[in-house]
Amino acid sequence: MNALEQAATDRFTTLLETKRSVILDTWVDQFLADWEGTRHGNLPPEEIRAQSQLFLDQLHRLLQNNFSHSWQPQSADPIVQLLTQLSETWAKKGLAAAQSTFYILSFKRILLARYLELESDPAAFSAAVAVLDLVLDRLSLVVVERFEMTRERLIKQQSLSLLELSTPVVKIWDHMILLPLVGVIDTARARKITENLLNSIAEIEAMVTIVDITGVPVLDTAVAGHLMKTINAAQMLGTHVILTGMSPEGAQTLVKLGVSLGDITTRGSLKAGISEGLAALGKVIIDGHRRAG
């Protein structure tokens, strides 16, 4: 760093000591005011204040200890860890990415304004800007990156839970469950479906399992293969599997493909499958109207 930059760095260090509380107040107030009405509602001001306080301390330490051009944010740096944690929290709470960037940038503006009160020489001022660019721009990159990583991870998690949601296992009678399959069955979903199904079978001690494929658009060999694996695994747990909802076209196509689903009961409609299942459980459906009449 040249002499001017070193002087600016020292001045910032001093500012962070002498003007610490006023800088903190302005910063936090401005941040909250600028995002008034947006979603910092579930982000308590005290929390922002506490975090900002820590940030000031860490920045102070960073500038004090031989700060130079070669400085790069490392994940082990306390200040980087602090910001990492902050952006993760904000990303999870649903704040906009712009808000986290604005947080650092507004701090930069405030610090520079304070600096100008002490030193108005243009050359010194531009050295000061250079120093702040060096440290704060790099830190704001850390914030943005971490923010996006967290968001992406959240989205992945959400689509995973969608996967689970879209493969519900329904208990329709004592010891009888229904697995309604809807949509495209790829390897990831097939695995999830099998896992859910086996758990449910064990949990309710299902003696009858109805697998309904009305909602499966195309029964190609990949889907049929997944289906067979799922059904075989269920049968191994001792449950009686009934496959329902295969369309006549689907059946024809399977035959042409040369695929046989093996030794399982199939029924055209879900209704027929349920009566079959009840019969297997020793239950009989009685038409109440006729009996009453």
Question: What does the alpha-carbon distance between residue 1 and residue 130 come to, in Å, rounded to a whole number?
Answer: 10
Q: Which amino acid is at 261?
A: L
Selected from 37, 122, 258, 288, the binder of another protein by CB under 8 A is 258
Selected from 257, 262, 279, 283, the binder of another protein by CB under 8 A is 257
151 to 190, contacts with another protein by CB under 8 A? 184, 186
Q: Which of 71, 77, 83 is CA-nearest to residue 139? A: 83
Are the CB atoms for 92 and 136 separated by under 8 Å?
no
Asked if 218 touches another protein (CB under 8 A), the answer is yes
Least CB distance to another protein at residue 186 (A): 5
Residues 6+ apart with CB under 8 A from 48: 28, 31, 32, 40
Question: What does the alpha-carbon distance between residue 19 and residue 14 come to, in Å, rounded to a whole number?
Answer: 8
- Please identify, among the stretches 82-90, 100-108, 112-120, 220-228, the one whose residues bind another protein according to the rule CB under 8 A: 220-228
Question: What does the alpha-carbon distance between residue 224 and residue 260 come to, in Å, rounded to a whole number?
Answer: 9
259 to 278, contacts with another protein by CB under 8 A? 259
Are the CB atoms for 53 and 86 separated by under 8 Å?
no
- Please identify, among the stretches 8-16, 115-123, 242-250, 273-281, the one whose residues bind another protein according to the rule CB under 8 A: 242-250
Selected from 224, 241, 270, 274, the binder of another protein by CB under 8 A is 224
Closer residue to another protein in complex, CB, 17/220: 220
Selected from 127, 219, 241, 274, the binder of another protein by CB under 8 A is 219
Closer residue to another protein in complex, CB, 113/255: 255
Backbone angles phi, psi at 134, to 5 degrees: -55, -50
* C-alpha radius of gyration, the chain, whole number: 32
Question: What does the alpha-carbon distance between residue 178 and residue 150 come to, in Å, rounded to a whole number?
Answer: 36
Closer residue to another protein in complex, CB, 164/220: 220
Closer residue to another protein in complex, CB, 73/268: 268
End-to-end CA distance of the chain: 99
Distance of CA 68 to the CA centre of its chain: 37
Q: Which of 284, 234, 243 is CA-nearest to residue 261? A: 243
Least CB distance to another protein at residue 259 (A): 6
Asked if 221 touches another protein (CB under 8 A), the answer is yes
Least CB distance to another protein at residue 251 (A): 10
For another protein (CB under 8 A), the number of binding residues is 20
Q: Which residues contribute to the site for another protein (CB under 8 A)?
A: 184, 186, 217-222, 224-225, 247-250, 252-253, 256-259
